[in-house]
Chains A and B, each alone.
Chain A
Amino acid sequence: MAFAQFSLENAWLIPLLPFIAFLLIVSFFRNMEKTASTTAIVFSAISFALALGVVTSVLQRPELIEEPLVYSMRWFSMPGLEISMGVLIDSVTAMMLFVVTLVATMVMIYSTGYMQGDPGYSRFFAYLCLFAASMLGLVISTNLLQMFVFWELVGLCSYLLIGFYYFKDSAKEAAKKAFITTRIGDFGLLIGILLIQVNFGTLEFVELAEMMPAFALAHPFLVTLMGILVFIGPIGKSGQFPLHVWLPDAMEGPSPVSALIHAATMVVAGVYLVARAFTLFQFSPEAMMVIAYIGGFTAFFAASIAITQREMKRILAYSTVSQLGYMMLALGVGSLSASMFHLMTHAFFKALMFLAAGSALHAIHGRTDIFQMGGLRKKMPWTAAFMVIGLLAIAGIPPFAGFWSKDEIVLAAQLGGYTGLYYLAKITAFMTAFYMSRMVFVAFFGKENPENHPHESPPSMLFPMGVLAILSIFGGLVGAPWLEKGFSYWIRYGEYVPHHADLMTMASSVLVAAAGIGLAWVIYGAKLIDANKLAEKASFLHKLSYNKFYIDEIYQWMNKTIVATTSRALYWVDLRVVDGAVDGSAKLTGWLGDKLRLSQTGQLQHYAMIFFAAVVLLVAIMGMMGAETAMALIGGGK
């Protein structure tokens, strides 16, 4: 218990340790691969232990649910602006610390096997540490500005890791795309933060929560505006429509990175920000509605793309976009618990699936098309088993983790009165079960591809997957509805409303998931229906889905026409008008100097001549105007 108390009081160590590991690796262990990876793992394991301590002490102090513990010190201040930096701990933070440190540690252990022999081995671990540190810093932030700093750091790390294979053009492009797309979102977020600062004079979450009710009564429109602006940030970071385009490309990084980005860092930062600033959204029904519908639409939209994709990691990436949509949907309909619950279970099974996918791709040397894999089950029994566990978890088959969390979201949509979103969520659940089983059936069952010579991955890779698999199976039970103090008791916003198991919803969810898996089995497992013929029959829809609804092409087109034309015009203005004015005045001065230089002949008599001419001129002026006015004109006194 002393340790739990210690970790609660020293939670700042949790992000600091991976950061120290990062510093150590980049400054001393660049050429010592074993030391580098050991440092990374040991430091994040200590972070994980501390996070566990925080979780235990939070579980002993239920008052932390509504009264967060804040340790902070002044960072800087100026008139009208006081910014502190510190640690805010409540139950949501504790859960996030647990999830992030756990997934990060698992990913690092996995990476020792996966990155074996890679020339960038140490660099990879350094980036992973920095990534984990940034995300943990974001999680414990006490105010929006501190959060924004780490938010940007997370973005930087994702840029570094997606572009890890910087010598590959596609990786470079994907890294840039991720960075720029999320920057667009960050811009909205930044404006939102400024708006909040101007109106409230503070960015502290706790103070904002206190001031919010009165302010929202007086200025409902401003609150909506702030909410929507702040939400633009999460749209970018969490890959919501229409800024989702970077996330599927982000798989250009090594697979462990994808697991980390898609499960515990980066993309969940957006969901977490909405949860953290929930007070802000809570008071604006319009903003909540926007979040709910964008989330719901993204969930459906990404799932409809995932159905026809052929690359394993791309399918998983679209599934992440879709699942993040679920989380946003849950926040939008007002259920913080459901959203955070799904975030946690999703972190377990999505990390598991990405690691399993990495294991499979590792074994067959980067053949990414699932139709070229086939029959991996026999050679890689463990990986296949893990993937199936992931599938069952994400599809929502009880008692796997995804079942409980997804059900809560569906239930929340229903209770919130969003009937349309409720059905959309159901359809999406069916599609999720379908495309995930399609991937598993095609890649792991079915006919073997003779060109592949897969072999099972080493224990260093299997162990983390095993841990995540156990959590994917049992992790959801903490939120089982019959628990007296389950997940939604600990992580919630406002009063605790105990809800009872809704057997109808549960049954229908299971039915939907089973139908999805069954249909995939009929088409891709037993091959009772020819998939190609099906694709031909609905060729329009198939093409639309396979080409991701041409969103990328639309962006390209917009870029080519609107952006390029505007920038050409601006370039012309810059070149001719701005530079013209600057260069013109320089040229004028030069020309004048050139001409005036001629008067400097060094000839005494020329000077005398000019002197005389000036006297004649002055006399002439005086003669014409009278001495008084002439003197005034020249500027002389009386």
Chain B
Amino acid sequence: MTIGLTHFLVLGAALFCLGLFCALSKRNLIAILMGIELMLNAVNVNLIAFNKFVAPGSFEGQVFSIFIIAVAAAEVAVGLALVISIYRDRTTSSAEELNWLKL
């Protein structure tokens, strides 16, 4: 059995669903950020798989995934900084308690 495009797509879909579930269900902000990272990685897997199997010889998919990794790193840096700052202010990092935008 050779490993083909379908396997990668299934893996990407599974990863995306796990990440989504994590982002929607976890209470801790840091866990939510981790879920988002997971979803981004699922997209990276798809991009690279498409690059390899649909248009071998070109680099677009790989370039894109590198961009995504870079942006995700920057985002996490900002996100973590926010989370820490919120924690300092409110002594909590639970997403459920952070609903003061509504008030």
Contacts and interface: CB of A to CB of B under 8 A. Distances in A.
Interface stretch (A391-399, A443-451, A601-609): A601-609
B102 A601 contact: yes
A603 B95 CA distance: 7
Interface of A: 600-605, 608-609, 612
A609 B25 CA distance: 10
Interface string B77-103: 000000000000000000110111111
Interface in B1-51: 20, 23-25, 32
B84 to A, nearest CB: 17
A604 B98 contact: yes
Given A603-B95, A603-B96, A608 B102 contact: no
B24 A605 contact: yes
A605 B99 contact: no
Nearest to A603: B99
Task: Across the A-B interface, give the 5 residue pairs with the lowest CB-CB distance, nearest first.
Answer: A602-B102, A602-B99, A602-B101, A604-B95, A605-B24
A269 B32 CA distance: 90
14 contacts: A601-B99, A601-B102, A602-B101, A602-B102, A603-B95, A603-B96, A603-B99, A604-B32, A605-B23, A605-B24, A605-B95, A608-B23, A612-B20, A612-B24
Contacts of B95: 603-605
A601 B20 CA distance: 20
B102 A609 contact: no
Nearest to A609: B24
Interface in B40-76: none
Nearest to B24: A605
A602 B25 CA distance: 16
Given A603-B95, A612-B20, A612-B24, 12 more contacts: A600-B102, A601-B102, A602-B101, A602-B102, A603-B96, A603-B99, A604-B32, A604-B98, A605-B32, A605-B95, A608-B23, A608-B24
A602 B95 CA distance: 10
B42 to A, nearest CB: 14
Contacts of A612: 20, 24
A425 to B, nearest CB: 89
Contacts of B25: 605
A600 to B, nearest CB: 6
Contacts of A601: 99, 102
B17 to A, nearest CB: 11
A609 B21 CA distance: 10
Contacts of B102: 600-602
Interface of B: 20, 23-25, 32, 95-96, 98-103
A605 B32 CA distance: 9
A531 B37 CA distance: 117
A600 B32 CA distance: 20
A600 B23 CA distance: 19
A614 to B, nearest CB: 14
A600 B99 CA distance: 10
Nearest to B23: A608
Contacts of A608: 23-24
Contacts of A605: 23-25, 32, 95
B100 A602 contact: yes
A612 B23 CA distance: 11
B58 to A, nearest CB: 24
A605 to B, nearest CB: 5
A608 B21 CA distance: 11
A623 to B, nearest CB: 15
A602 B103 contact: yes
B52 to A, nearest CB: 24
A272 to B, nearest CB: 75
A255 B100 CA distance: 79
A594 to B, nearest CB: 15
Contacts of A604: 32, 95, 98
A284 B24 CA distance: 90
B101 to A, nearest CB: 5
Nearest to B29: A604
Nearest to A597: B102
A375 B3 CA distance: 136
A600 B103 CA distance: 10
B103 to A, nearest CB: 7
A604 B96 CA distance: 8
Contacts of A603: 95-96, 99
Contacts of B32: 604-605
Nearest to A605: B24
Contacts of B20: 612
Residue from the set A601, A608, A609 with the largest chain B CB neighbour count within 10 Å:
A608
Nearest to B95: A604
A138 B34 CA distance: 92
Nearest to B101: A602
A493 to B, nearest CB: 85
Contacts of A602: 99-103
A608 B29 CA distance: 13
A608 B96 CA distance: 13
Nearest to B99: A602
A153 B20 CA distance: 81
Residue from the set B25, B32, B98, B99 with the largest chain A CB neighbour count within 10 Å:
B99
Nearest to B96: A603
B95 to A, nearest CB: 5
A484 B24 CA distance: 115
A490 to B, nearest CB: 90
A602 B101 CA distance: 6
A609 B95 CA distance: 14
A145 B103 CA distance: 63
B79 to A, nearest CB: 12
A559 to B, nearest CB: 59
A421 B79 CA distance: 105
A602 B98 CA distance: 8
A608 B95 CA distance: 12
A612 B16 CA distance: 12
B7 to A, nearest CB: 22
